[in-house]
Amino acid sequence: MTLSTEPTVSELKEKLHDEEELYSELLAKLDALSGTRAPYDQDGTIPELLASLNQSSALIAPEPAETTEGTGAGGLKGLARDIARRLIEPELRALGQALEQQRSFNSSLVQFLNRFAETSNRAQAAQAEFTSALVGFSQRIDRLADAKDRLYASLGNERADLLLEAMDKRVERVQLGLRALKERVEGMDSSLAVARAELHGIAARVSGESPARANSPPNLEAEHYLAFEERFRGSSEAIRERLADYVPYFEGKGPVLELGCGRGEFLELLKEAGIEAEGVDGNREMVHACRDKGVQAKVGDLVTVLADRAAGSAGGIFAAQVIEHLPPSLLRKVLADGYRVLRPKGRIILETVNPTSVIALVESFYRDLTHEKPIHPETLEFLLRAVGFSEVTIRYTSPVGERARLLPVMDSTEAADTVNQNFEKLNALLFADQDYAVIATK
């Protein structure tokens, strides 16, 4: 039995009440601090001191010099004293007045600076306190909103849980019905696909369009595999869309030989791109499907066909979902012959099921009874380099949808973080990309 760590509704209400009180206190503090006045408004003597400074800084107009008529008594000495008095005394009076004005200015300036510094310090302290209160207020808003959200979510969950429980039961019944219906439809699709393939083969044998097909004996296994491809690998349109990304790798690399060309989707893409190509497949019905599309293909064993090709006769080799059908000894032979058949700078692309993805093994590899052995991407890279290929790269494809993956736990606890890290590891193992392709250049 596990104890719930989720707070009750009453606890959430109490938490919301505490947050609202702290919010109100901080808001009142902000209102009080927002009224802090500027230095000029805090001290009424500052404007007076500033006026006194402006008055003291004004220049004093020199007083007019006194004029004395005549040379005065005293002969030459009196004349000298009179000249000195008239020239020097005005300057001395002006200098004295300037010194007195400077002393007054200095005194007013010191008083102004002292008052202004004191009030500025008070204003800066109030500003710092206001900033700190504003930060706290902003943080408190988030906490208050979180408390409200949690309370409203808890109140809603109490009612939603009852509705969801009833809904889950209904959905479960609907899912059971849909699953049974899906199984019936899939069975009908498989039967129809097999019947369509058999009728297609019979029609071809009795028609006069293809004498080779008319004279060949029925091959129900081949016809059944064509239906299997249609049922499990996907429609031709889906395969075309998935293989289209490989076409640019073969631009200027013709002719291209496709091993196990199947229904001819990739040959059709190469033809549309103006790249010369030919396919080979051991399934007669697959080759007939290729010819119906207007592309070149022939029936044959791909190992033999590749071994019989002349050296340097191809610019590219392509095989999608083929090499997993080969035993290891034949796989090594195909790689060696492929290197020989390609001309210099020729390119080979081999796509197969990704065995490092558990879902790919379960849903794809082991579904097909003709598969021999899964091939690890690093093993295939090693084998290609061993026969002489260079510039070998691995390209992963067919990603698994997000809805199929394990979802993270939506919680901020340490335990939830640990669970989510393990989920990521499991997702990487269980739901890695389902296919990969090795691209190598000679």
CA distance 68 to 84: 12
**What span, in angstroms and rounded, lies between the C-alpha atoms of 278 and 298?**
8
Q: Where are the beta strands (DSSP E) in 311-430?
A: 314-320, 342-353, 390-397
**CA 382 – CA 405 distance, rounded (Å):** 31
- Whether 263 is in a domain gets the answer no
Considering its fold, how many domains does the chain have in total?
1
Q: Does some domain include residue 39?
A: yes
Any bridge partners for residue 277, and if so which? 256
SS3 346: strand
For the chain, what is the radius of gyration of the CA atoms? Answer: 48
CATH number, domain at 148? 1.10.287
Q: Is residue 55 part of a domain?
A: yes
- Tell whether 225 is covered by a domain: no
345 falls within a domain? no
Which pLDDT score, from 0 to 100, does residue 209 have? Answer: 46
Task: Tell me the pLDDT of the chain (442 aa) as tens digits.
Answer: 444 456 676 776 777 777 777 777 767 776 676 665 655 566 667 677 667 766 666 555 555 545 444 444 557 777 777 777 777 877 777 777 778 777 877 777 777 777 777 777 777 777 777 777 676 666 667 676 776 677 666 666 655 666 666 666 666 666 666 666 555 555 555 555 555 555 555 555 555 544 334 333 334 355 555 555 665 667 788 899 999 999 999 999 989 999 999 999 999 999 999 999 999 999 888 899 899 999 999 999 999 999 999 999 999 999 999 999 999 999 999 999 999 999 999 999 999 999 999 999 988 888 888 889 999 999 999 999 999 998 999 999 999 988 888 888 888 888 888 988 998 999 988 999 999 999 999 9
Q: Is residue 13 part of a domain?
A: yes
Residue from 266, 435, 260 nearest 363 by CA: 435
CA distance 352 to 384: 14
In this structure, is residue 399 part of a structural domain? no
Position 339 in a domain: no
Which residue range(s) make up the domain with 81?
9-60+77-159
